[in-house]
Amino acid sequence: MVEVKHISYAYQNGRGKVLENVSFSLEPRQCLAILGNNGAGKSTLLKCIDRILPTKGASVTVDGKEAFAMSNREMAQQVAFVPQHTAALHMTVFDAVLLGRKPYIKWDATREDRRIAAQTIRQMGLENDSLRNVSELSGGEAQKVMLARALAQQPRLLLLDEPTSDLDPRNQHEVMQTVRKIAQEHDICVMTVLHDLNLAIRYCDRFLFLKDAGVYACGGREVMTPENIEAVYEMHVHLETYMGIPVIIPFPDV
């Protein structure tokens, strides 16, 4: 279980507080979509949870352990973060994914580390690219490599900042299907920033709406309502079901 309590953050540029007293919890096997307009603090929230940005008086517990009190090594074993944009890596796909095992490696990668890296590459559909240089891949392919590296860490909490932003529609769905499957099979918690509401409602179990620096709504499918969506995004929507699949239809000009 992951519990986030009282996260607040303000940039030192006069913008005021980006986040104020944000609290929520997540059970293993659940995928949480973090939703809100640009500038709502979605990416900032992930960076605070991962200790990239400092926050005072907050608490993040992973399976009962206080993340803010962990060593860097233990933190990397518990929490994996995939940012929206990463620098190009001049190494093979296999070696890049094997880097995800770094928190567990003492002297050199073991046979088990290499097995986990290879298994993760297969899960992400990258086996045909395992010997290619990451710097030669498309943006979408490189994004899948970064996700594979994070999964190779075998974390208890996986943080994803817009994991589908550089992917074509087919790969968007494949990545979200894979993330949900791994969360369920390995009992991990996933928090992901998404702009596509239809990906969120189709593949996520929990939803956190951010507005005015705080939590506007948080919960299961019951909070994914036209009323909440309209209040947060200031846009009229309809929520329909087609062939058993929930579909959000926007009407931005209404």
Mind spelling out the 3-state secondary structure of 209-226? EEECCEEEEEECHHHCCH
pLDDT value, residue 194: 93
CA–CA distance, 228 with 225 (Å, rounded to integer):
5
pLDDT value, residue 40: 87
**Residue 48 backbone dihedrals phi, psi, to 5 degrees:** -70, -45
pLDDT value, residue 168: 86
**Residue 28 backbone dihedrals phi, psi, to 5 degrees:** -55, 145
| DSSP letter (8 states) at residue 63 | T
pLDDT value, residue 157: 93
| DSSP letter (8 states) at residue 91 | S
pLDDT value, residue 240: 93
Number of folded domains that form the chain: 1
Supply 232's token pair: 């947060």
* CATH at residue 174: 3.40.50.300
pLDDT value, residue 91: 86
- Residue 156's Cβ-count burial label (10 Å; 0-12, 13-18, 19+) is buried
Supply the range of the domain harboring residue 6.
2-251
pLDDT value, residue 14: 60
- Residue 107's Cβ-count burial label (10 Å; 0-12, 13-18, 19+) is exposed
Tens of pLDDT along the chain (254 residues) come to 899 999 999 887 666 788 999 999 999 999 999 999 988 889 999 999 999 998 888 899 998 889 888 998 888 889 999 887 666 678 899 999 998 898 888 888 889 899 999 999 988 888 888 888 888 887 778 888 888 899 898 899 999 998 887 788 888 898 888 888 888 888 899 999 999 999 999 999 999 999 998 999 999 999 999 999 999 999 999 999 999 999 999 987 75
